[in-house]
A and B are shown apart, each in its own frame.
Chain A
């Protein structure tokens, strides 16, 4: 309950502050309208949570194959479900952001757009396989194996794309920290941004925890019925 309240208050703070604070952007050196940057407060935390969820499900898939404990399967699939949700959000916000700054909703030569597209396909394939396997044990094992294979091919993709199409990312590399590791944002902006980062992570953890508890109750019921 206390978590729910805290997340609600912090999220309200982020949403309000993101829109009422004055823009720090200088109209002379921005690509689009100066207010476009506000989506940054939501887009970056969503992408971060999507990445976190993907890494978590990978970890739990490996743990499942090691221990054969069904709890890890539930954790992996829950992380994947939430990961899919946040990946879709990040894609949509990113696409709007791209339209406003670079002029196109989608650009195939932008590395992060390609990688998130592949990530969405990976999620699609993962859930397609799960729905085609009726036996729970088989479903857990085979989808864990598939997750690991996907993760390895994703690593290859991350390495190959910049090599074959050199220097084609339009994403700024200094939007949070510059090369020497110093923060590039001003006080207000960084306060809102890091609160948003924390609150999106907390939101993810909270939904994740709820889903796991729900799944466990469901599984218990299923066993009692048998």
Chain B
């Protein structure tokens, strides 16, 4: 349990570290995610190359790239444990909440690595630069936390199912719908260069969403993990 235990944070970090190390050895998720993002980006570049879409459309396209790239890789964090048969060992090694937050941090790291690569490519290839970088950063920061926070438990659910990859996207979409609407709204404002009043409502919602989803997943995770 988190309270009163000094070692809790280091336990969580150990799970994340183990995943990062094994990720560097196998490149199980990162290659798929990056190539998926690149492919989507290329398709969009060719599609919009002939005409110049509005900034509102670009904001939506940016999140479509991130959403689908994330969907292709975020589920791996639990699927790889089930497939290599290490899930049982992990269950013995630590309790559910530690595993959950460890995996969440790893997914978050994966998403930030993805954005670091996608954002410059998006700006260069699609020639759309945010007018307000601060809003753009808010959108990416809160959007990534929400993406990882809401889908980590879904990844755990999907890892027990017989069809995994396709199911992850199907199950994640209804959950991520409010996040996507809010985050696209903020990104639009960032591209157009609005004032803070424009993004106050989606920002409130996004912060609430991130906090609620992480707490909810934390509460429900044991039911999934002990299966």
Contacts and interface: CB of A to CB of B under 8 A. Distances in A.
A65 B222 CA distance: 11
A149 B227 CA distance: 18
B174 A128 contact: no
Interface of A: 65, 118, 121-122, 124-125, 128-129, 132-134, 137-138, 141-142, 144-146, 148-150, 152-154, 156-157, 159-161, 163-164
A128 B216 CA distance: 22
A53 B161 CA distance: 26
Contact of B182 (A125, A142, A164): A164
B177 interface: yes
A160 B171 contact: no
A55 to B, nearest CB: 17
B174 A125 contact: yes
Contact of B175 (A65, A144, A150, A163): A150
B160 A164 contact: no
9 contacts: A125-B174, A129-B171, A133-B160, A134-B162, A146-B154, A146-B171, A154-B174, A160-B181, A163-B201
Nearest to A68: B223
A212 to B, nearest CB: 24
A153 B175 contact: yes
Given A125-B171, A152-B216, A157 B178 contact: yes
Interface residues of B, number: 33
Interface string B207-219: 0110011001100
A145 B162 contact: no
A157 B220 CA distance: 21
A129 B167 contact: yes
Given A133-B162, A153-B175, 13 more contacts: A122-B174, A125-B173, A129-B167, A142-B157, A149-B175, A150-B174, A152-B216, A153-B174, A153-B213, A157-B177, A157-B178, A157-B181, A163-B202
Nearest to A152: B216
Given A118-B174, A125-B173, A152-B213, A145 B150 contact: no
B156 to A, nearest CB: 9
B170 A124 contact: yes
Nearest to A121: B174
Contact of B216 (A121, A129, A133, A149): A149
Given A142-B227, A160-B181, A148 B170 contact: no
B108 interface: no
B181 A146 contact: no
Given A65-B223, A153-B150, A156-B205, A128 B213 contact: no
A145 B174 contact: no
A129 B174 contact: no
Contacts of B220: 65, 145, 148-149
Nearest to B153: A149
A146 B157 contact: yes
